[in-house]
Structure 1
Amino acid sequence: MNERGTPVWYASLQLRYGQRHGRTVPILRQHQGPLRVQKHFVQPDGSCQHIILHPPGGIAGGDVLALDIALEQDADVLITSAGAAKWYNGFGQAAQQTLTVNLARHSRLAWLPLETIVFDGAQVQSQNRFDLQPDAALLWGEVVCFGRPAGNKPFQQGYWRQRTEIWRQQQLLWCEHTRLAASDPLWQSAIGLGGHSVIATLLWTGQIPDACHQEILALPCKGEAGATQLPEVWLARFIGDSAEAAWHWLRAARELLYPHTHQRHADTPRIWRT
C-alpha cells in the first residue's frame, strides 16, 4: 500500500551475465511480479541478446518497477524489450521505474529498449544509474513519445521526471535530470522540444571517430537531430513527431556506430523485425 492506502503493484527483475567459454550467457535471472525475460540468444560473435517482458502491457499509477543488471568481466550484452513501454494515466498517482546497472572491467552493454509512450495524465518518475569499471562501455538509447499524436490525444496533463547518471569509478561522466510537466513552456520553446512530441537519445561512453560523427550528423530524418562529442561521452538527440521516425534514425545511427564501438556489424535483434 502507498501513503494514500492504494495497492501498489511491485515488480523487480535481477539479471547477471558472465562469459563462459567465449560466450556471454545469463548466470542469474530472478524476478518478482510481472517482469520477465525471454530465452536469450547467443550471437555468432559470442555476445548475448536478451528481451525483457512486462506482461501487463502497461504501467499504471502506483506501479513500481525495479531492474538490477550486472555484467561480469568481458561480458557483452544487448538488452531490448518485447514491445513499447506504456505509461498510463495515473489519475493522481505516480508510477516509478528504477534501473541500476553495474559493468565490470572490459564488459559492454547496449541498452536499447523499444519506445516509451507516455499517455496523457501519466505521472512518471524514472531513475537510471550506470556504474562502470575501467574499460567497461555503455551504449544507451531510448525513444520517448508524449501523448498519441496519431490519435489526436496530446500530452496535456501529468509529468515526466527522469534522472540518469553514468559513473566510472566514482567519477560522474554524465548527469541529466529532466522535469517536464505537461504545462511546461519547454514544450514550445526553441531550446526545448520546439512544439514536438517525440525525443530520442543515443549515448556512448567514449570517443568516436570524427568521420563517423559526421556521417551520423548527415543521416536523413523526419525531424531534427544533432550530436556532440564530450570528453567522456558521445551524445546524439532527435526530436520530432513520430516514434517510427525516431527509431529509424536511432537504428541508422547505431549501425554507423557499431564498427567503432563494438568492432563488428550491428546485428538486428529479431524482435525489432516483428
Structure 2
Amino acid sequence: MSATSILKREWLAKLALTFSYSVHGTQLARTQRVGPLTIQKAFYPEGRDCAHVYLLHPPAGIVSGDTLHVDVNLEPKAHVLVTTPGANRFYRAREDASIGTPVQKQITHVYLPSEAKCEHFPLETIVYEGAEGVNQVVVNLAADSTYLGWDITCLGLPSAAQLFLSGTFSQLNQVYCDNKLIFHDRIKVSPEPCKGNEQVQQHVVGLAGNSVFATLLAYASAELVNQKTQTELIQQLRETITQQNLQNQVSVTHINQLIIVRYLGHHAEQCKQIFILLWQQLRPLYMQKQGIVPRIWHT
C-alpha cells in the first residue's frame, strides 16, 4: 500500500445503542460499534428505571475525513440519559485536498417509540480555527414519547485568543414526530468574506459577533404537558433566566408541544449553567425525576 493510499484513509466510526424496558427497568440490550466510538456500560445512579450512558471517543476530537455516527434506539417505555465526559472537538482541517476530503462529520440519530424517554446532553462542541465541521442531530419521536436535549457550539477559543477566523461549520437540528417534521434549524458559519457580504457570524441577525450558540429542546405530549401547564412553565423558565440576568443571552419559544430555548453569547460555561437550571425545572414534569446533575459533569 502506498503512502498516499494510507493518508487518504478515512476514519469511519459508528456506535448504535439499543435500550429495552422490562420489569427489571431499562437495560442496554444491544451495542454495535465500528471504530473508536464506545461506552463503558450503563450506570444507574437514579435506580434501574433510568440508564445513564457516557459516549466515549478516545481520540478526543474529529479530524479531516472522520465521520462519526451515533444511533440511540429506545424500545417502548425505556428511559436513558446520554452524555459525554468532556467536550467534543472539530480540529483544524487538512489543507491538502489531494490526500483526502477535509470535511469532518458527526451525525446523531435518536429514535423514541411510544412512551420512551430520552435525555441527550453532550457537553460542548469546540470548533477550532480552520475546521470544516458538520454536526447533525436528528430526533424521531412518537407523539407520546418524551425528549430533553441540547447542543452547545463554541467557535474557536476566544479566552485563549484562538478565534474562529477561517473554515466552515454547519449545525443541523431536526425533530420529527410520528414521521412529521416539526422542527428544522440549520446554521452554516463561514467567517471568510463572500462577495462582500457580512457573514452570519458577524451579522446582527446572525450570531452578532458571538462565539457560543446553543439550543435546548423539550418535548412532551399534550396529555403530559397541556397548554395551560406549558404556558405556566415557559413563564417560570423566563423568570429563571431573568433572575440569572441572562435575558439578553437566552430566549424561550415554543412550537406546539416543543419548547425551544436558545443561548447566544461568549461563554460555554455560562450557557451550561443556565441550561442545567432550566433542565432542573423541566425534568420533574417531563421525566418525573429530580434534576440531579450527573456526577461525570463534575470530573
Judge same fold: TM > 0.5, yes or no. yes
Percent identical pairs in the alignment equals: 28
After superposition, the CA RMSD in angstroms is 2.1
Residue in structure 2 matched with residue 230 of structure 1 by the alignment: 255
- Per-residue deviation at 1:265? 0.8
Partner deviation per Cα, 1:12-66 (whole Å, 9 max, x = no partner): 1010001122411100112111101122112226211110000001111111101
Mind listing any 5+ residue stretches in structure 2 that lack a counterpart? 96-101, 193-197
Residue in structure 2 matched with residue 191 of structure 1 by the alignment: 205
Q: Tell me the amino acid that sits aligned with residue 82 of structure 2.
A: I
Report matched runs for 1:205-216 at 5 Å: 205-206=219-220, 209-216=230-237
Q: Tell me the amino acid that sits aligned with residue 265 of structure 1.
A: Q
Contact 1:221 1:245 in 2 (8 A): no
The number of equivalent residue pairs is 274
Query: Quick check: 1:162 aligned with 2:171?
Result: yes
Contact 1:13 1:36 in 2 (8 A): yes
Task: Point out 4+ residue stretches in structure 1 off by more than 3 angstroms.
Answer: 2-5
Deviates more, 1:131-140 or 1:231-240: 131-140
TM-score by length of 1: 0.94
Give the Cα separation in 1 of the matches to 2:31 and 2:245.
38
Q: Tell me the amino acid that sits aligned with residue 39 of structure 2.
A: V
- Choose from 91, 101, 118 the match for 1:109: 118
- Choose from 9, 24, 27 the match for 2:26: 24
Q: Tell me the amino acid that sits aligned with residue 203 of structure 2.
A: S
Tell me which protein shows more strand as a share of its residues: 1
Contact 2:51 2:79 in 1 (8 A): yes
Query: Quick check: 1:138 aligned with 2:138?
Result: no
Deviates more, 1:64-73 or 1:130-139: 130-139
Contact 1:200 1:250 in 2 (8 A): no
Contact 1:228 1:234 in 2 (8 A): yes
Give the Cα separation in 2 of the matches to 1:258 and 1:232.
15
CA spacing shift, 1:28–1:231, aligned 2, 3 Å: same
Give the Cα separation in 1 of the matches to 2:238 and 2:142.
30
Residue in structure 1 matched with residue 99 of structure 2 by the alignment: none
Deviates more, 1:68-77 or 1:216-225: 216-225
Give the Cα separation in 2 of the matches to 1:65 and 1:255.
30
Larger radius of gyration: 2
Give the Cα separation in 2 of the matches to 1:264 and 1:213.
19
Query: Quick check: 1:97 aligned with 2:106?
Result: yes
Give the Cα separation in 1 of the matches to 2:273 and 2:78.
28
Residue in structure 1 matched with residue 98 of structure 2 by the alignment: none
- SS in structure 2 at match of 1:36: coil
Give the Cα separation in 2 of the matches to 1:76 and 1:85.
24
Give the Cα separation in 2 of the matches to 1:108 and 1:147.
33
- Per-residue deviation at 1:99? 1.2
CA spacing shift, 1:45–1:190, aligned 2, 3 Å: farther
- Per-residue deviation at 1:188? 2.1
- Per-residue deviation at 1:130? 1.6
Contact 2:190 2:200 in 1 (8 A): no
Q: Tell me the amino acid that sits aligned with residue 133 of structure 1.
A: A
- Per-residue deviation at 1:3? 11
